[in-house]
Structure formats: structure tokens, C-alpha cells
Chains A and B, each alone.
Chain A
Amino acid sequence: DVKVTQSSRYLVKRTGEKVFLECVQDMDHENMFWYRQDPGLGLRLIYFSYDVKMKEKGDIPEGYSVSREKKERFSLILESASTNQTSMYLCASRGAGTKYEQYFGPGTRLTVT
């Protein structure tokens, strides 16, 4: 089974702090994704990566950056956390080819105070 793990389940940070959210997958997937999930808004794509050192902006990249130095790891960075970034953050991965199913991690609930 594919396993996607995220570094923290719950995180509390202060406004202005730099925040790192880590995601690791163990299936040698090429594609990795970061979403945020807010009540009533579904999942919104922040950034994705289709290869090591490659990244593409999603629908809501403002205030975020990403890093993919190794194939199995995709990091989401909040350079200066703000209260409107309080959310559930979900990482996902997908293999190459025509099977578009994404496998999700358990999520990180981030609270910025």
C-alpha cells in the first residue's frame, strides 16, 4: 500500500513565524501535491511538483513556497505565517501514467495565533 506521511498532525505557530510542513511518500511517485482544506471550500491546490526540483503553482500559491530536493519528499513553507493560513494541510502523491488517483496523507492541522 502507498503510504504518505506528514511530519505533524497538529501544529500551533505564531504570526510571522516561518513554518515547514514535511511530506514523505514511499511509492517512488513522480507527482506530489499540497492542498489546504477549509470548511465548505473543499480542497484547494497550493503547489505541485512533477519531478525533483520542479514545482508549479496551484490555485492559491500566495504566501507559500515549496521545496522538492528528493523524489520522496515535498515540503511546504510558510515564509511568514499569518492567521488566515490557519487550516488543514493535506499532502498527496501520484505516480506517472494515466492513473490519476492521488494518495493522501493524514493532514496537518495548522493553527496560527
Chain B
Amino acid sequence: GESVGLHLPTLSVQEGDNSIINCAYSNSASDYFIWYKQESGKGPQFIIDIRSNMDKRQGQRVTVLLNKTVKHLSLQIAATQPGDSAVYFCAEILRFSGGYNKLIFGAGTRLAVHP
């Protein structure tokens, strides 16, 4: 929503530069992670996911890196465009006995792209 970006860390980049958004996760047993993008006035939108048996996964202009040793996730956006301006959330899977699971979301990082 419109106020999601308030009180969040902000990354400001120039159009055309590469962006790196970082996320620390809490559960060492988490084996699945997602990055979401939320534009102003919209719900979160899936960008890319990665399982813990991988260190890196690439999509279109985006790369997710996973460092399980330090429980760190990063999202790299190549050649950042004004349309990339949004709040970005990482999420980790938390599993429960009984077979169900839920996503735990980070607080988010606001990406501001300047022309």
C-alpha cells in the first residue's frame, strides 16, 4: 500500500545501475525462500524463489544469492529501471508438524530508482 515504504530502509540507485537488496533470515532450518515486489497501491508480486540446495538462481534481470552459513539472502537487479521502484520483501518458509507451513516475511526494503 501507499504507506508501506514509510520507516523502511531505502536503497537509492541511478537508472541503469545494478541494485543489491539484502535480507537476513532467522531460521537455520528454512529450506525455501521467496522475493516479492510490492508497488505502491498493489499487493506483493512474486519475483523469484530459491531452495536451500542452491546458492544462486537467476531470472530475467534478477539473481538471488543464498548464503546459508550466515543466513543471508540477496536480490540483485541488473540495469535497474524506474519501474523497479517498489518495496522488496524476502520471505522464508516455516514448517510445522502436521504438514502445513507458512511464509515469514521480512520488514522490506524500499528501492528508489532515480533517472
Contact = CB atoms under 8 A, between A and B. Distances in A.
A43 B89 contact: yes
A33 B91 CA distance: 15
Nearest to B49: A101
Interface in A58-75: 58
B77 interface: no
Q: Contact size class for A? A: 20 to 34
A50 to B, nearest CB: 6
A43 B105 contact: yes
Given A42-B108, A45-B102, A90 B6 contact: no
Contact of A4 (B5, B43, B106): B43
Contacts of A90: 43-44
Interface in A36-67: 37, 39-43, 45, 48, 50, 56, 58
Contacts of A105: 43
A102 B100 contact: no
Nearest to A104: B43
B80 to A, nearest CB: 23
Given A37-B4, A40-B6, 17 more contacts: A39-B4, A40-B7, A42-B105, A42-B107, A43-B44, A45-B102, A48-B102, A100-B93, A102-B46, A102-B103, A103-B46, A104-B43, A105-B43, A106-B41, A106-B42, A107-B41, A107-B43
Interface of A: 4, 33, 37, 39-43, 45, 48, 50, 56, 58, 88, 90, 92, 100-107, 109
